[in-house]
Amino acid sequence: MSWNRVAVVGGGLIRFGELFDQSYEQMAHGAFAAAVSSVDKGFDPHQVEAAIVATQRGTLWGQEGIGGNTVPSAIGLAGVPCTRVENACPSGSDAFRIGAMVVASGVHDVVLVIGVEKMRDKSTDEGLLSRAASGHPIYNRAETAPVLFAPFATRHMHEFGTTREMLASVAVKNHHNGTLDPYAHFQSEITVDQVLASPPVCHPLHLLDCCPQTDGAAAVILVNAERAREFTDKPVWVAGFGVATDHPYLHEKSTFTGLPVTTLAAERAYQMAGVGPNQIDMAEVHDCFTITEILDIEDLGFIEKGKGGVASLEGETAIGGRIPVNPSGGLLSKGHPIGATGVAQITECYWQLRGEVGERQVELRHGNALQHNVGGRGSGVSVVNILTTNNP
């Protein structure tokens, strides 16, 4: 493949949470400013040649007017070419992939990728119901977000003996990691017993098996690899990416013990990067629910199919484990402002590969980090991006 190599030279985010006092535009500005100030050798905002903005929620959530024109104005760059990307829960990671392709194509050398999402401007009930009633008027009725993943938990437990304790261990680990991440929505430890005793949300998932509704924004700066040293002596390179789609509705799924769409996206990313799952030092994966992380670590090839629950319970995915997963706290603890989620995961991978996250730093053996999202009506799309410190 003939494409210009791409480097990440800056990344930043705002503290995720229920940001009732910040507008969409203020969040975008905060994330952009954080990314700009993170660039080692300084960065003039006007060096941005183009921007890709990821915002997933549209017509149902009060962001009807949000488009490619909203963010440049908010961050002081009106005039810059900018396009909004929407691709379900992987919107942010797909915006990153598209930004990388813009740089790789040679059309632009410096591209901003920014994800912004307002999740809490509408009431929980209204958000829930909107979710439960969009799409086909019957075939997805009553499908709130946990309905899209809980059926996999039921079947995974049935087939592999996965237990609620195993699911809970994912939440416990990610909440612990979140206490080490100053940007995380939640900053408190929880116990397995607390997860088990939390109110049922969507059997077999309980409240602490679920990510919160979180506002947030994150941004990264991509440049042509040949110009990376203008900005930093410690660039991180884009090694590969993959996107895959599947039939979106749950009744169209071929299996309920995994998400083949993740495996397909990962295969494409691994092939492009020339690495395999055993050469990944850490991963930021889509843990909207505890079961999702268990599916992810199996579908990404880190853990044998069916063993994800046991592996989680035994600490294989902890920061000091064999394959650290979601050291940032993940969606479960850091939060899931949809368009911002993937971009924030990229930021964590960037910081981890540069070795600058303190207590939650993972051991770097191969210099590769993987970022993953999956989503859509019923996991109809997945995106995997792989970053590396190894020279392109």
Partner 1 sequence: MSQSNTPGPGVVSPVGLLGIGAAVPSGRLSVSDVAAGWGQRAGSGALAVCGPDEDCLTLAWSAAGAALDAAGVEAHEVGALYWGTARPPMAEGPSHAFLLAAIGLGSDVGGLLAGGSVHAGLDALVAAWDAVAAGAVGVALVVASDALVPGPGTGAEKSTGAGAVALVVSGPTGAPARLVARATRVRPLLDRYRGDGQAGTGDPYDPRLYRERELLPSVTSAVDALADRPPPETRWSVPDPDGRLGKAVAAAVGAKAVSSEGVFAQIGDAGSAAGLLGLLGALGGPGTACVVGTGGGRSTAVVIEVSAPVPGQQRAAAAIGGGDAGTRSLNYPSVLRSRGQLVPLSDPVPMGVPPGSAAFVRGSEELLGLLGRKCDSCGTVCVPPSIHPVCMNCGSPGGDIVQVARRGRVQTFVVNHTMPPPFEAPLPLAVVDLDDGTRIMLQGMPEDAAALEIGDRVHLELRRYAIERGVPVYGFKVQRDVHPGSGPNGNGTNGSGASVALAGRESS
Q: Which residues participate in catalysis according to the annotation?
A: 89, 336
E strand map for 255-363: 282-284
User: Burial letters for 246-260: b for 16+ Cβ neighbours within 10 Å, e otherwise?
Assistant: bebbbeebeebbbbe
Work out which of 20, 21, 44, 125 binds partner 1, going by CB under 8 A.
125
What are the backbone dihedrals phi and psi of residue 18, each rounded to the nearest 5 degrees, phi first?
Answer: -85, 95
CB of 150 within 8 A of CB of 158? Answer: no
Neighbours of 41 (CB within 10 A): 11
Q: Is 120 in the site for partner 1 (CB under 8 A)?
A: no
Work out which of 4, 69, 144, 198 binds partner 1, going by CB under 8 A.
144
Q: Is 130 in the site for partner 1 (CB under 8 A)?
A: yes
Q: Which stretch binds partner 1 (CB under 8 A): 5-13, 121-129, 184-192, 333-341?
A: 121-129
CB of 120 within 8 A of CB of 31? Answer: no
Work out which of 143, 181, 296, 348 binds partner 1, going by CB under 8 A.
143
Contact letters (x/-) for partner 1, 222-261, by CB under 8 A? -------------------------x-xxxxx--x-----
In terms of CB distance, is 146 or 216 closer to partner 1? Answer: 146
Work out which of 30, 99, 146, 342 binds partner 1, going by CB under 8 A.
146
Quote the CA–CA distance of 148 and 248 in Å, as a whole number. 10
Residue 357, token pair as written in the block: 């996250």
Q: Which stretch binds partner 1 (CB under 8 A): 107-115, 132-140, 186-194, 278-286?
A: 132-140
* Alpha carbon 162 to chain centroid, angstroms: 25
Instruction: Name the DSSP class of 361.
Output: P
Instruction: Name the DSSP class of 9.
Output: E
Closest separation between CB of residue 129 and partner 1, Å? Answer: 4
What are the backbone dihedrals phi and psi of residue 22, each rounded to the nearest 5 degrees, phi first?
Answer: -120, 135
Q: Which stretch binds partner 1 (CB under 8 A): 7-15, 141-149, 278-286, 321-329?
A: 141-149
Exposed/middle/buried for residue 359 (C-beta within 10 Å: 0-12, 13-18, 19+)? exposed
Q: Which of residues 156-215 bind partner 1 (CB under 8 A)?
A: 158, 199-205
Work out which of 41, 46, 141, 365 binds partner 1, going by CB under 8 A.
141
- Binding residues with partner 1: total (CB under 8 A): 40
Residue 97, token pair as written in the block: 């992939």
What's the one-letter identity of residue 353?
Answer: L
Residue 374, token pair as written in the block: 């999956």
Contact letters (x/-) for partner 1, 300-339, by CB under 8 A? ----------------------------------------
Closest separation between CB of residue 138 and partner 1, Å? Answer: 5
Determine if residue 88 is left, alpha or beta; phi over 0 gives left, psi from -120 to 50 gives alpha, anything else beta. left
In terms of CB distance, is 148 or 218 closer to partner 1? Answer: 148
Work out which of 45, 81, 135, 321 binds partner 1, going by CB under 8 A.
135
Binding site for partner 1 (CB under 8 A): 60, 125-126, 128-130, 132-139, 141-144, 146-147, 150-152, 154-155, 158, 199-205, 247, 249-253, 256
